[in-house]
């Protein structure tokens, strides 16, 4: 359930809200809400009550409305003042609804406080995905030819454009805060790339490097790091199977699936190595 309602801020006999409520409670009465908190001209602060599901919060509309024109959450009549008040209320209501829809599109649960924060600009300065990614690419491109390549810069730029189109076409957003990124967003983006953009017909969205290319990179790393032994990608698989999984009690059947082994006997080779090391220790 989503709802925004407006009302005039209440008070009693010119007292502050806290004093008025304290005064009423001391007399055994309910909190006073029958007298408006108005200025000398009879104008009262307009408040909003935002309801999202079971969560609820109130906020200031940062405007005043005359008591004489107020009725059922709006200004009555067709005077210029009433029309302007209702226009501002409609804008607030439309903005809150747009924020709620935007957040609901990328998050499974949205609260009233979160919508309120975005509506009132309390989230100003919060890091957003495209803004951060754009700055990253800008800094990356400044280092091209030094320790960054044009090919990598092009890949990042393409990724940025895909995210930008996805936000615009699928979620009607110009950007999205990091706090709104969750599994639901990732799944929707993955589906968008595969269906709308026709990417990864073989089921692979990330680049898959061959064994020889990886070994070539490892050889270079060994040289610049002063490692006096041959490094190969298969060593990483061996370390993962023995030191990270099996030696820490991960079931062999689970390790076999994670390693992509077709036969359990293949995984048992690593188990034998692990057991041998334990015996030696």
Based on the domain organization, do 49 and 101 belong to the same domain? yes
* Domain identity same for 6 and 115: yes
Sites in the chain below the pLDDT cut of 70: 10-40, 121-126, 179, 201-203, 205-208, 272-281
Tell whether 106 and 134 lie within a shared domain: no
On whether both 26 and 81 belong to a single domain, the answer is: yes
- How many domains does one find in the chain? 3
What is the rounded distance in angstroms from the CA atom of residue 261 to the CA atom of residue 255?
9
* Pair (6, 104) in one structural domain: yes
Q: Is residue 207 part of a domain?
A: no
Amino acid 158: pLDDT? 92
pLDDT for the residue numbered 277: 54
Q: How far is CA 68 from CA 8, 75, 78, in A?
A: 11, 9, 13
> Residue 165 has which token pair?
């189109």
Q: Is residue 216 part of a domain?
A: no
Domain boundary among 68, 90, 119: 119
Alpha carbon of residue 270 to chain centroid: 41
pLDDT at residue number 24: 40
Stated pTM of the model? 0.41
Pick from 177, 195, 213: which residue ends a domain?
195
Domain ranges, residue 155 = 129-195
Q: What integer pLDDT is reported at residue 123 of this predicted model?
A: 43
Q: Is the same domain home to 11 and 106? A: yes
| CA pair distance 173, 131, nearest whole angstrom | 13
pLDDT of residue 207: 67
Please tell me the predicted confidence (pLDDT) of residue 94. Answer: 86
Write down the pLDDT at residue 209.
Answer: 75
Q: Is residue 185 part of a domain?
A: yes
Q: Do 7 and 114 sit in the same domain of this protein?
A: yes
Query: Which of 66, 98, 119 corresponds to the end of one domain?
Result: 119
* Residue in 51, 57, 60, 62 with CA at minimum distance from that of residue 100: 51
274's tokens: 């692990």
Per-residue pLDDT at 279: 56
Is residue 92 in some structural domain? yes
Name the burial class of residue 94, with classes exposed (0-12), middle (13-18) and buried (19+) by CB atoms within 10 angstroms of its CB. exposed
> Quick one: which H or E segment has residue 8?
strand 2-8
Residues 174 and 265 in one domain: no
The strand pair at 2-8 and 74-75 is best described as unpaired
**Structural domain contains residue 250:** yes
Nearest to 186 by CA among 209, 158, 205: 205
Which pair of tokens denotes residue 35? 């007298």
Residue 221 lies in a domain: no
Q: What whole-number distance in Å separates Cα of residue 34 and Cα of residue 29?
A: 12
Q: What local confidence, expressed as pLDDT, does residue 6 receive?
A: 92
């Amino acid at each position: 359930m989503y709802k925004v309602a407006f009302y005039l801020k209440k008070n009693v006999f010119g007292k502050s809200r806290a004093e008025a409520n304290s005064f009423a409670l001391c007399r055994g009465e309910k909190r006073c809400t029958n007298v408006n908190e108005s200025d000398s001209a009879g104008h009262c602060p307009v408040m909003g009550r935002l309801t999202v599901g079971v969560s609820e919060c109130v906020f200031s509309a940062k405007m005043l409305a005359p008591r004489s024109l107020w009725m059922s959450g709006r200004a009555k009549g067709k005077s210029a003042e009433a029309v302007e008040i209702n226009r501002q209320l409609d804008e607030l209501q439309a903005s809150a609804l747009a924020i709620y829809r935007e957040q609901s599109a990328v998050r499974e649960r949205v609260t009233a406080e979160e919508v309120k924060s975005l509506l009132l600009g309390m989230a100003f300065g919060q890091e957003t995905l495209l803004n951060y990614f754009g700055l990253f690419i800008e800094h990356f491109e400044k280092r091209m030819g030094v320790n960054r390549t044009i090919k990598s810069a092009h890949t990042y730029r393409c990724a940025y454009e895909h995210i930008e189109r996805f936000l615009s076409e699928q979620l009607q957003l110009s950007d999205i805060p990091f706090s709104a990124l969750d599994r639901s967003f990732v799944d929707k983006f993955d589906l968008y790339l595969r269906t709308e953009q026709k990417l990864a017909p073989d089921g692979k969205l990330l680049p898959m490097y061959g064994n020889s290319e990886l070994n070539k990179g490892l050889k270079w790393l060994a040289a610049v790091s002063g490692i006096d032994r041959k490094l190969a990608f298969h060593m990483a698989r061996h370390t993962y199977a023995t030191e990270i999984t099996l030696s820490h009690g991960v079931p062999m059947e689970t390790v076999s699936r994670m390693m992509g082994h077709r036969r359990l006997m293949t995984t048992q080779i690593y188990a034998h190595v692990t057991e041998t090391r334990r015996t030696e220790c």
